[in-house]
């Protein structure tokens, strides 16, 4: 079991990682948290989705019951998937909180993947102008990326994550036992964020991935715990320096400019992480061409993406100009150019790099299908 701190100016929080660490929930649930009214026995609301509820809710309720004021935490279950990250679903959750008489000194626990974390975190951030919440991520994507950092969000028909607020959790509990039920494709998709963290952090973590690839894919418990802890440390360090994304935090978007565009243009046929893997291959190519990244370094990242079982080519043809235009809209940059995070070397990411759309279309050839 590993515990690490996310250090923030307004008061930090702990991240507990390991098999069986769900037990940490009972003390966290009643622990005082700076900026929030004290509550020896809060009412606890668990927000989860149907799939996760069937698999893991019982185990979490068994622990939370002793910490809840009425011994019966309120459970709010949403449909699984991105379609639940909406104002409508948030509205129905507010109604249930009102009916349950949930007050400012109470607690929300989000149990699920990034969708539940973003949605439940947003509801926690806005209910009574913000109440305490604990993240219990159950996907690898959420464990190594979404759960730490305090970004919450909802989607609008006009685009993803357009409504959101920063609201840091009071704690994060990552019980690796919960990840055992994840389908392999979802597990592998989450690994893309780990490769991203290695690319922006440095050689040591990249070397580790290369050495441990086999054990990572086999989800060996000790390796999985190490993987998650390392990722959380990297994310926590970036967030500690730039909590509200004024600058540095943008490096966490490496591979995401093209990744998001592909995700959108393929109608969410690929997983987010699969698109980020493709996005990193394109960003690597651009980094070699205009930021001085060594070809061998880009090659290492690309080989790792492939070894972990992530796609390295688009599943079907997607118009390059369309991808470039979507990137431009996403980043609201001037016509004819797009802003990218590029690598000068492994561990040396530079945000805000301007890339000409024609150069981007050219670089997209590296992920063309059937090459």
Ligand X SMILES: NC(=O)c1ccc[n+]([C@@H]2O[C@H](COP(=O)([O-])OP(=O)(O)OC[C@H]3O[C@@H](n4cnc5c(N)ncnc54)[C@H](O)[C@@H]3O)[C@@H](O)[C@H]2O)c1
Maximum C-alpha span of the chain: 62
For ligand X, give the closer residue by CB, 179 or 310. 179
Among candidate residues 36, 111, 35, 38, the one with its CA nearest the CA of residue 73: 111
For ligand X, give the closer residue by CB, 259 or 320. 259
The verdict on 159 binding ligand X (CB under 6 A) reads: no
Residues recorded for the chain: 371
User: What amino acid positions are annotated as catalytic residues?
Assistant: 129, 151, 193, 235, 245, 249, 253, 256, 260, 272
Site for ligand X in 82-111 (CB under 6 A): 82, 85
The verdict on 49 binding ligand X (CB under 6 A) reads: yes
The three-state (H, E, C) secondary structure of 262-320, written as one string: HHHHCCCCCCHHHHHHHHHHHHHHHHHHHCCCCHHHHHHHHHHHHHCCCCCCCCCCCCH
Closest residue to ligand X, judged by C-beta, is 114
Specify whether the CB–CB gap between 356 and 334 falls below 8 A. no
**Strands 348-356 and 337-345, how do they pair?**
antiparallel
Among candidate residues 143, 145, 124, the one with its CA nearest the CA of residue 133: 124
| Placement of tokens 């989607």 in the chain | 155
Out of 26, 30, 51, 312, name the contact with ligand X by CB under 6 A.
Answer: 51
| Beta strand spans in the chain (E) | 2-6, 13-18, 44-49, 74-78, 107-112, 132-137, 151-156, 159-166, 171-175, 337-345, 348-356
CA distance 18 to 316: 39
Among candidate residues 104, 154, 113, the one with its CA nearest the CA of residue 133: 104
The verdict on 196 binding ligand X (CB under 6 A) reads: no
The verdict on 201 binding ligand X (CB under 6 A) reads: no
The verdict on 186 binding ligand X (CB under 6 A) reads: yes
For ligand X, give the closer residue by CB, 81 or 91. 81
Specify whether the CB–CB gap between 344 and 275 falls below 8 A. no
For ligand X, give the closer residue by CB, 82 or 242. 82
Which of 115-123, 221-229, 319-327, 330-338 is the region at the interface with ligand X (rule: CB under 6 A)?
A: 115-123
The region, left, alpha or beta by phi > 0 then psi within -120 to 50, assigned to residue 203 is alpha
Out of 17, 29, 52, 216, name the contact with ligand X by CB under 6 A.
Answer: 52
CA distance 228 to 154: 25
CA distance 138 to 178: 6
The verdict on 311 binding ligand X (CB under 6 A) reads: no
For ligand X, give the closer residue by CB, 275 or 355. 275
- Token output for 323: 């991808």
Out of 4, 8, 19, 55, name the contact with ligand X by CB under 6 A.
Answer: 55
Site for ligand X in 117-136 (CB under 6 A): 118
The verdict on 182 binding ligand X (CB under 6 A) reads: yes
Residue 286 CB, nearest approach to ligand X (Å): 22
Specify whether the CB–CB gap between 102 and 133 falls below 8 A. no
The verdict on 114 binding ligand X (CB under 6 A) reads: yes
Contact flags string 3-42 toward ligand X, x per CB under 6 A: ----------------------------------------
Which of 175-183, 311-319, 339-347, 363-371 is the region at the interface with ligand X (rule: CB under 6 A)?
A: 175-183
Site for ligand X in 260-299 (CB under 6 A): 272
Contact flags string 138-157 toward ligand X, x per CB under 6 A: xx-xx--xx--x-x------
Among candidate residues 34, 28, 91, 104, the one with its CA nearest the CA of residue 64: 28
Specify whether the CB–CB gap between 320 and 359 falls below 8 A. no
Total chain residues near ligand X (CB under 6 A): 29
For ligand X, give the closer residue by CB, 161 or 215. 161
The verdict on 312 binding ligand X (CB under 6 A) reads: no
Residue 141 CB, nearest approach to ligand X (Å): 4
**What DSSP element (H or E) covers 50?**
helix 50-52
Sites of contact with ligand X (CB under 6 A): 49, 51-52, 55, 80-82, 85, 112-116, 118, 138-139, 141-142, 145-146, 149, 151, 161, 178-179, 181-182, 186, 272
């Amino acid at each position: 079991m590993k515990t690490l701190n996310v250090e923030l100016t307004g008061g930090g929080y702990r991240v507990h990682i390991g098999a069986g660490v769900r037990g940490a929930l009972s003390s966290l649930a009643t622990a005082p948290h700076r900026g929030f009214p004290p509550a020896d026995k809060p009412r606890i609301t668990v927000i989860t989705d149907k799939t996760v509820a069937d698999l893991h809710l019982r185990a979490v309720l068994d622990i939370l019951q002793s910490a809840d004021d009425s011994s019966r935490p309120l459970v709010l279950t949403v449909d699984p998937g991105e379609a639940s990250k909406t104002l409508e679903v948030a509205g129905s959750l507010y109604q249930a909180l009102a009916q349950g008489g949930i007050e400012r000194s109470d607690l929300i626990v989000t149990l699920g993947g990034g969708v539940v974390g973003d949605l439940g975190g947003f509801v926690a951030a806005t209910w009574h102008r913000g109440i305490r919440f604990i993240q219990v991520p159950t996907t690898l994507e959420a464990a190594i990326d979404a759960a730490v950092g305090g970004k919450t969000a909802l989607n609008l028909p006009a685009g993803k994550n357009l409504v959101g607020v920063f609201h840091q959790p009071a704690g994060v509990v990552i019980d690796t036992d919960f990840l055992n039920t994840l389908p392999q494709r979802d597990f592998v998709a989450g690994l893309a964020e780990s490769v991203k963290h290695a690319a922006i952090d440095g050689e040591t973590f990249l070397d580790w991935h290369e050495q441990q690839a086999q054990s990572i894919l086999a989800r060996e418990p000790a390796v999985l715990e190490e993987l998650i802890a390392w990722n959380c440390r990297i994310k926590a360090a970036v967030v500690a320096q730039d909590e509200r994304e004024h600058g540095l935090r943008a490096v966490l978007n490496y591979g995401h400019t093209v990744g998001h565009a592909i995700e959108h243009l393929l109608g969410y046929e690929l997983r987010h992480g699969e698109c980020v893997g493709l996005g990193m291959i394109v960003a690597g190519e651009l980094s070699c061409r205009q930021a001085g990244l060594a070809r061998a370094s880009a090659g290492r990242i690309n080989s790792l993406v492939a070894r972990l079982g992530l796609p390295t080519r688009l599943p079907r043809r997607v118009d390059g100009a369309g991808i470039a235009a979507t990137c431009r809209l996403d980043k609201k940059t001037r016509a004819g150019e797009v802003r990218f995070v590029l690598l000068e070397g492994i561990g040396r990411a530079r945000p805000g790099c301007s890339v000409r759309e024609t150069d981007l279309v050219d670089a997209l050839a590296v992920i063309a299908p059937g090459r």
